[in-house]
Structure 1
Amino acid sequence: MTTTGTTTRHRLLWIAGIGMVTAVAVGLLIVVLPHQEPAHAATPAPLPITTAAAGVAPVTLTDLARTALTDTTGSAGTVDHLITERWDVHSAVADGDVTSAMFPSRRELWRASDGRARTIDLLLAPGASTADIHAFVGPDAPTGRSVRNDYAAGTFAVAFAGRPPTDPDELADWLARNSTRDDAVIVGVTDLLLERVLTGRERAAVLTVLDGHTTLTYAGTSTDRAGRPGVAFTAASTASGGQSQYVFLIEAATGRFLASEQISTGGAPALKLTYPAVLSYRTYRQADTVAAIP
């Protein structure tokens, strides 16, 4: 698709109705007048979840927190090393009309304890034109090539500057960042998992907070988009103005996070979605520590 006229680019979480668009991370609100064309986005299928057989006790987040405390895999250094594949809604506003598209991307991140960092980004959109990618994501978006950026200490933008606290009550407040939305802790966790390799103790604290400060409940088992099996936990939310569902997929043997998703389940007529529709997903392909930034 091609846009003309003055274009404003935002990465969207949600279009709650014909009149309002909520932007992720940038904290902006775009007003879409009722006579304008609604946004439209094709979305991937949600992860299929197989419910537990009758009589089989569900895995609990408390169980996984205990497991995480004993997990030391991937702890070989002091530099956090993450590989994440993700899918997000992007929008363009041109001549008062809003259209949206979704492009998958891959980021490899190294983050040292002194604040230095390196990222390698790749936009995984083989079916999209360069013009579309630049219109929706930005003029400097990597199209079919990887882009490396190095950051001096203190120059890499992050949601959380320090290590997560391990006291559950303190951690809950830290993750929510003073927000009173019903999904504040969950959004905080998804942001944290993009930035930090959690130690076993930190992961146990995060799982404990998810158990005590959210409505996440065991939903069954699934396989993530990298083909890895895990146990699924889901929670409903109306924080974005429509109905949505959050999903976390966690490895049973280690308590490690494999994936997370946000799914629209209703109340977003402007997007013309077929429900349920994935608005974003994160596949945590790798999370380990290394000795140095390469």
Structure 2
Amino acid sequence: MGVSEDGRALSAGADPADGLVVDEERARADPETVAACEVPGTAGRRGRRVGVVPAVAAGMAATAGVAALVLLPEAGGDAGRAHAVTPPPLRYVSAAADRSASEVLGEIADRAAALPEPTGKAVGTRYRVWSLSTQVASGSVTSEVVATDVRNEWHPDGSLTQIQETPEGAETFTDAPSAYAQPAPAGDEAFAAWLEAAHGRPTGDIMALQAAAHDLVTQQALGPDQRAAFLRMLAGTEGLEYDGEVTDRAGRDGQAFSAVSSSSGLPTRYTFIIDPATGDVLGQEDTLTESAGELDVPIPSVIGYEVYLPPVLES
């Protein structure tokens, strides 16, 4: 078996969402079942988290715990160089050349806005975060896989309890009410202004918008008009491209939209995966496209992703 085949075999096992399939109808009725899905190959893994790239949720408590570090010899025969195995990229069905991101997102936004208000009160959300932890010490660079299942429980006063589950156990954190605890307004201009104010900095760059979107969808449940407003805001992002259809890491059908930014210090492709029927944000992906800098990974590499599961409804 060649190096590239070895890499595919190893990276398949390195993906914490590998094998996670969500029955959407059942998930909405029984989110406990979704969150309890076992992450293949993670039992018994241990490690130490020392620094995560990219940052997850500004203003939120840092996630904890790591999965095992797996190394793969670098292609080209450099026996002294090894890379951390990152998850395999998602497979995109190429979009038609005449379909722009703004056109497709506009259609999804119109579809979302026409939907009825959801039944049942959302009281929390569950999501899975995978990221890359890198340590630089004495000229040596090591990278580790960090996987965390998170549950945010929202309280009537706007405060939040966050439970983070890793192979090392569970930790609980509490946060005071934030701007995201207030319902986002409907209407494109009002929504865009509110989101930027809640984020505390401009959101024109895809990296900043991704961070703001994370805080938004993990701290409140968006209604149809709010989802439509967010999609129209995303459609205005500079350099945004429509990547085509994709099956996300929870087995759900989505459509992908991405743009490249160097705001992190390295050229990175930031991707949103959107449910074409509802306008929900299903997940986000971060992929290094040109250089790994000091990170111990090959190019290209998925260095982070998030999978957003259906909201937890009041029982």
The TM-score with structure 1 as length reference comes to: 0.70
- Measured after TM superposition, the shift of residue 111 of structure 1 is 0.7
Structure with the higher helix share, 1 or 2: 2
- Measured after TM superposition, the shift of residue 43 of structure 1 is 1.1
The TM-score with structure 2 as length reference comes to: 0.66
- Measured after TM superposition, the shift of residue 57 of structure 1 is 8.4
1:177 equivalent in alignment to 2:200: yes
- Measured after TM superposition, the shift of residue 212 of structure 1 is 1.8
1:10 equivalent in alignment to 2:30: no
- Measured after TM superposition, the shift of residue 61 of structure 1 is 1.2
1:163 equivalent in alignment to 2:183: yes
Percent identity of paired positions between Structure 1 and Structure 2 = 28
Structure 1 alignment gaps of length 5 or more: 14-21, 27-36, 125-142
1:283 equivalent in alignment to 2:307: yes
Q: Which residue number corresponds to residue 82 of structure 1?
A: 125
CA distance in structure 2 between the aligned counterparts of 1:102 and 1:178, rounded to whole angstroms: 29
Higher relative contact order (CA 8 A, sep 6+): 1
8 Å Cα contact 1:122/1:146 also seen in 2: yes
CA distance in structure 2 between the aligned counterparts of 1:243 and 1:122, rounded to whole angstroms: 31
Does the C-alpha gap of structure 1 residues 157 and 42 become closer, same or farther in structure 2, counting only changes over 3 Å? farther
CA distance in structure 2 between the aligned counterparts of 1:212 and 1:265, rounded to whole angstroms: 22
- Measured after TM superposition, the shift of residue 94 of structure 1 is 4.7
Does the C-alpha gap of structure 1 residues 54 and 180 become closer, same or farther in structure 2, counting only changes over 3 Å? closer
Summarize the alignment of residues 181-260 of structure 1 with structure 2, pairs less than 5 Å apart: 182=205, 183-260=207-284
Q: Which residue number corresponds to residue 34 of structure 1?
A: none
Which of 84, 99, 103 lines up with 1:41 in the alignment?
Answer: 84
| RMSD, aligned α-carbons | 3.5
Equivalenced residues, count: 246
Q: Secondary structure at the match of 2:51?
A: strand
- Measured after TM superposition, the shift of residue 245 of structure 1 is 0.4
- Measured after TM superposition, the shift of residue 270 of structure 1 is 1.9
8 Å Cα contact 1:38/1:98 also seen in 2: no
Structure with the higher strand share, 1 or 2: 1
Structure 2 alignment gaps of length 5 or more: 1-44, 60-79
Deviation sequence 1:160-195 (CA, Å, 0-9, x none): 343334324414533652247733223211332232
Q: Which residue number corresponds to residue 138 of structure 1?
A: none
User: Larger deviation: 172-181 or 278-287?
Assistant: 172-181
Q: Secondary structure at the match of 1:209?
A: helix
8 Å Cα contact 2:285/2:305 also seen in 1: yes
